[in-house]
C-alpha cells in the first residue's frame, strides 16, 4: 500500500460481501463456502474493513500534507485526533452521527 500510486476503496458491508460469496460472485461455490466457514466471518470482515478504511484515511492525510508542503500552503488542516464512525442503514443510525 505504501508504494501504490493510488488507493481506491470498494466498500461493502460484511453481510453484503458474505451474500456475494453465497451467490458465487466472488469464488466458485465450494471455495466460497470454505472461505465463509474458515475466514470470512462477519467479525473478521468488519476488522479488515476497519483496517482498510483507517489505512486509506492515513494515506489521504499523507497526500494532503505532501501537497501542502510542495505548494507552500499553510492551512488549518492539521489535526491530532481522528474519529472513524461506521453507521449502517438500520433505524437510528443517522441519529448517532
The secondary structure of 21-60, three-state, reads HHCCCCCCHHHHHHHHHHCCCHHHHHHHHHHHHHHHHHHH
* Residue 56 domain-assigned (yes or no): yes
DSSP at 80: S
* Residue 27 domain-assigned (yes or no): yes
* Residue 8 domain-assigned (yes or no): no
pTM of the entire predicted model: 0.66
* Residue 5 domain-assigned (yes or no): no
| 81 has a pLDDT exceeding 80 | no
Q: How many domains does the chain have?
A: 1
Query: pLDDT by residue (tens digit) across 18-54?
Result: 999 999 999 888 898 888 888 899 999 999 999 999 9
* Residue 87 domain-assigned (yes or no): yes
* Residue 4 domain-assigned (yes or no): no
Q: What is the mean pLDDT of the chain?
A: 86
Instruction: Give the pLDDT mean for 69-80.
Output: 78
* Residue 3 domain-assigned (yes or no): no
Residues spanned by the domain of 35: 14-96
Question: Is the Cα dihedral 29, 33, 36, 38 positive or negative?
Answer: negative
Amino acid at each position: 500500500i505504501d508504494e501504490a500510486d493510488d488507493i481506491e476503496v470498494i466498500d461493502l458491508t460484511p453481510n453484503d460481501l458474505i451474500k456475494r460469496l453465497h451467490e458465487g460472485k466472488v469464488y466458485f461455490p465450494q471455495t466460497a463456502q470454505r472461505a465463509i466457514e474458515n475466514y470470512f466471518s462477519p467479525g473478521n470482515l468488519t476488522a479488515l474493513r476497519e483496517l482498510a478504511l483507517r489505512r486509506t484515511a492515513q494515506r489521504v492525510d499523507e497526500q494532503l500534507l505532501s501537497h501542502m508542503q510542495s505548494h507552500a500552503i499553510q492551512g488549518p488542516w492539521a489535526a491530532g485526533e481522528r474519529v472513524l464512525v461506521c453507521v449502517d442503514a438500520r433505524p437510528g443510525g443517522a441519529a448517532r452521527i
